[in-house]
Structure 1
């Protein structure tokens, strides 16, 4: 059965961090439908004043943040002592788990283009040790398609394996299609699948979807993605439905109000970090 559009969400312009202009596509109001993806922020600017303020040091617990910077750069620093820069096609994968502090700096570049996802952690894994991993271009397979290419950011595609998520399975593809080209992706019918049109409009199934739109797909074993008469770049994201309670407060996402209150109390008391910081 072919997957079709179940819901679509176009983002709205907002600011976050120290004054970063971005488009927030998924958030509190889309949690249930897009489970386990909690948030999707899109960045697309040729004006460094839109983003160089960055995201100063802040806490997270209960989630994983996955940043894909297709153009431009992002420098990460955290309370575990990690400091790393990704850019021009690379991925930053941070497991907040029991608690981490991190900052993200966005140096000036010709263009900043990418997205950040928040992937929920299952209740049993909410308090796992925090960790950071970057997926460099040398680790990302580029698979040639007829009239396009697929960049395997994470997961598996037709037997080719990329970075494998530790807590929830995640297939994450960056698909580039030439004008009027198409691709049919086979999908596990039990998976929760969404697509985001990063650059250009695209046909998902038979529906024309505008640029910077997230679409949740119905269940099925395949989906067809087709470019218009212009180049198209879409992100395909497939994972496992959690169907667990979500209690969300700012940078922290837990399963109960008590867990959320405990996290904020620990922040006030200075006991939030359960792993020794290096500075």
Structure 2
């Protein structure tokens, strides 16, 4: 297997109303990573946010790291997701929603868009929220892994994705086996890590393709997000809030 590992740093940009995001992709030189369309590490302060706006053609997960976000949509859903919790919306044939800060400080998290294959683009829109305590946590000798999407998690997607948060202690080591054909990335939130031979700092990621496993080591300890998925093998046409 001719495996490949590369590293990329997120780029700061403005989104919504006054929101600064660290965007891993899409950016010039890195449009997407099939089946993943967008990766934003956001920080939403009071007075900023994402008022009502439309989407279609994909699913999105918002995972909260700190603070909280309030979600409303044209399906009648109104909810607040807090630190360690997640929400998933399926835009499908179309949804209008808003995401506004729920806390008085910075409200930070990761938003991930996952493409829907052509046969599911017209699926009905839907929403799901999962609180922090419902996610399974696996402890190992030098850290722990929290499964956001995958075995044991109640959060459901229409694509085959494994998504988790990892903490490694000083001297920590973790290796994840990739199902055949999967692509993926490890995004560093805090600390420093070696990921499949790439030296990664906070705000950067290691991308892997055609590998059987992804390996993470940290001398001083780190916090990271691990995201793996099976490509749909279809072109991704993103224009603004739509993925056709």
Verify same fold: TM over 0.5: yes
Q: How far did 1:189 drift?
A: 2.6
Q: How far did 1:70 drift?
A: 1.5
Q: How far did 1:164 drift?
A: 5.2
Instruction: Select the residue among 58, 63, 78 that pairs with 1:63.
Output: 58
1:249 corresponding residue in structure 2: 239
Residues 1:165 and 2:160 are matched in the alignment: no
1:129 corresponding residue in structure 2: 124
Contact 2:59–2:92 under 8 Å retained in 1: yes
* TM norm structure 2: 0.93
Instruction: Select the residue among 200, 225, 230 that pairs with 1:209.
Output: 200
Larger radius of gyration, structure 1 or 2? Answer: 1
Contact 2:163–2:226 under 8 Å retained in 1: yes
2:16 corresponding residue in structure 1: 17
Q: 1:3 to 1:228 in 2, by over 3 A?
A: farther
Whole-angstrom CA distance in 1 between matches of 2:12 and 2:48: 16
Instruction: Select the residue among 209, 217, 225 that pairs with 1:235.
Output: 225
Bigger strand share: 2
Q: Which moved more, 1:164-173 or 1:53-62?
A: 164-173
Instruction: Select the residue among 63, 75, 86 that pairs with 2:70.
Output: 75
Contact 1:61–1:97 under 8 Å retained in 2: yes
Contact 1:28–1:38 under 8 Å retained in 2: no
Whole-angstrom CA distance in 2 between matches of 1:195 and 1:111: 24
Structure 1 gap segments, 5+ residues each: 255-279
Q: How far did 1:218 drift?
A: 2.8
Q: How far did 1:228 drift?
A: 2.7
Whole-angstrom CA distance in 1 between matches of 2:3 and 2:134: 30
Bigger helix share: 1
Q: Secondary structure at the match of 1:226?
A: strand
Contact 1:2–1:223 under 8 Å retained in 2: no
State how 1:114-193 maps to structure 2 within 5 Å: 114-156=109-151, 161-163=152-154, 165-193=156-184
Contact 1:73–1:109 under 8 Å retained in 2: no
Q: C-alpha deviations, 1:5-32, integer Å up to 9, x for none?
A: 1x32211111111111111111154335
Q: How far did 1:207 drift?
A: 2.0
Q: How far did 1:201 drift?
A: 1.8
Q: 1:163 to 1:236 in 2, by over 3 A?
A: same
Contact 1:4–1:205 under 8 Å retained in 2: no
Whole-angstrom CA distance in 2 between matches of 1:139 and 1:224: 27
Whole-angstrom CA distance in 1 between matches of 2:202 and 2:139: 23
Structure 2 gap segments, 5+ residues each: none
* TM norm structure 1: 0.82
